[in-house]
A and B are shown apart, each in its own frame.
Chain A
Amino acid sequence: MRFTKDHEWVVVEGDVATIGITAYAAEQLGDVVFVEVPEAGKSVKAGDNLAVVESVKAASDVYAPISGEVVEGNAALGDAPETVNDQPEGLGWFAKIKVANPAEVEALMDRAAYEDFLGTL
């Protein structure tokens, strides 16, 4: 699992990356009440808006950590947005992206580096 400073995570299997937000981010957001995930076929560049996650209070953007074409958005979050709180680094994933440039994944933080980063916040 790789991480961004915006608290997204990426897991690559084959040439598909699954993307979600970290447990830290989910805790900071509070109770998630609505999630908007991208549709298959959408092309994103690293740093683009990928999804939106909303708590009772506010809406927050989820950014694409890497570039590629969306192959699937997590439709299950439509009926069960609370999954983002319950299993942020598992069933609460947002989207799967076909990896355009594997070097972008390599450039992300590993868990130890991400935890060091959290320690600075």
Chain B
Amino acid sequence: MSDENLKTTPLNAAHIAAGARMVPFAGYSMPVQYKDGVLKEHLWTRENAGLFDVSHMGQARLRGVSPLSAFEEVTPGDFIGLKPGKQRYSVLLNKKGGIIDDLMAARPDDDGLFVVVNGACKDNDFKVIDDELAGQVRIERLEDRALLALQGPKAAEVLAQHAPDAAGMVFMDARAITAFGTDAIVSRSGYTGEDGYEISIPASEAERVWNTLLADERVKPIGLGARDSLRLEAGLPLYGHDVDETVSPVEADLAFSVSKKRRDARDFPGASRIAKELAEGVTRKRVGFVVLEGAPAREGAEIADEEGNVIGVVTSGGFSPSLGKPIGMGFVPPAYAELGSKLKVIVRGKAQTAEVTAMPFVPHRYVRKL
């Protein structure tokens, strides 16, 4: 896709003014980094508050007679049990139990479900939902809204100054409130492993809200580069890299997204495969690893056993700014998925030793109670 065909977010001018390096991502021109660079932006978010433009992501309302039960037809989550004011992580499944996308779905108010999906997948996701749930739900895509993420240990004290109605929210709470003097949908969540919020606001208010937050010395703009290294340290999979349509939630180590109630009912797409995997195990599993010596093993690098037999592939990998060493995720057979298992990762023809490590690599700091 040529640059001329790239879409822009409502914050495009603000990114350029802030010295961002813009790159194509999910069909949009997006900031990969600002002047400070990936390493400093990453560490700033871990210590202060980072502000991310994630307006490329797909926001929508699902409305209908019973949108919660309808949504259970395309996901394995307990959405009938989703209480007002709460948000849930889930996956959109195909008939074979493969993951079409991962997503957040919330009830910020009584107006159906508020759904946020990945930017690169959004057109297909909403088509799948529309096809599968035709006659049951009506999708309204919220293309006139921007989405900001404010992440880091200082995010809560910063947001409190602009959104008094967010007081009392804990991790995975979602509320439709007035924030920054405009109508906002705020959830206490994110994709960095830190405490923080995702804030949906009208596109026309985006630049004002962005600049209001950046006027606070605790807040800096953070690009997609650091967003990726932060989520990798947090052990969170990136759709299209760690997860695709062939991968089940069990293989992806996302079995928590298959609720107890739904496991028993087996009433979701691909339920027979997923029930079998839960009962009998899988042939490949997503694991985290640390490279003990050598270069970062990046996406596509082969994983071998100690004898050199190829047993898997790296799906995300890079240098961890917080830990100061290379980390990654990949798929291996369950026999190699035990914590402490030694693996070889092949980088430029060299077999480097890696060790299967618990994820998250850097502890999550979600605020689950106040």
Chain A residues in contact with chain B, CB under 8 A? 30-31, 33-34, 36, 52, 54-59
Contacts and interface: CB of A to CB of B under 8 A. Distances in A.
Contacts of A33: 39, 296, 319, 321
Given A54-B319, A56-B318, A57-B318, A31 B295 contact: no
Given A34-B319, A34-B326, A54-B319, A59 B39 contact: no
Q: Which 7 A-B pairs have the closest CB atoms?
A: A31-B39, A33-B319, A56-B38, A30-B37, A57-B225, A56-B319, A34-B295
Contact of B298 (A30, A31, A59): A59
B228 interface: yes
A57 B295 contact: no
Contact of B295 (A30, A52, A56): A52
Contacts of A57: 32, 38, 225, 228-229, 318
Contacts of B32: 57
B296 A31 contact: no
Interface residues on chain B, size class: 10 to 19
A36 to B, nearest CB: 6
A59 B295 CA distance: 9
> Chain A at the B interface: mostly helix, strand, loop or mixed?
strand
A68 B357 CA distance: 43
A34 B298 CA distance: 13
Contacts of B348: 36, 52
B42 interface: yes
Nearest to B32: A57
B33 interface: yes
Contacts of A36: 295, 348
A56 B321 CA distance: 8
B59 to A, nearest CB: 27
B326 A56 contact: no
A33, A34, A52, A59 interface centre (most CB from chain B within 10 Å): A33
Contacts of A54: 295-296, 319
Nearest to A34: B295
Contacts of B37: 30-31
Contacts of A31: 37-40
A36 B350 CA distance: 12
A104 B25 CA distance: 40
24 contacts: A30-B33, A30-B37, A30-B39, A31-B37, A31-B40, A33-B296, A34-B295, A34-B296, A34-B319, A34-B326, A36-B295, A52-B295, A54-B295, A54-B319, A55-B38, A55-B319, A56-B38, A56-B225, A56-B318, A56-B321, A57-B32, A57-B229, A57-B318, A59-B296
Nearest to B295: A34
**Which of A31, A52, A55 counts the most B-chain CB atoms under 10 A from its CB?**
A31
Contacts of A58: 298
A31 B42 CA distance: 12
A64 to B, nearest CB: 16
A52 B296 CA distance: 11
A27 to B, nearest CB: 9
Contacts of B298: 58-59
Interface string B320-333: 01000010000000
B192 to A, nearest CB: 14
A36 B348 CA distance: 10
Contacts of B296: 33-34, 54, 59
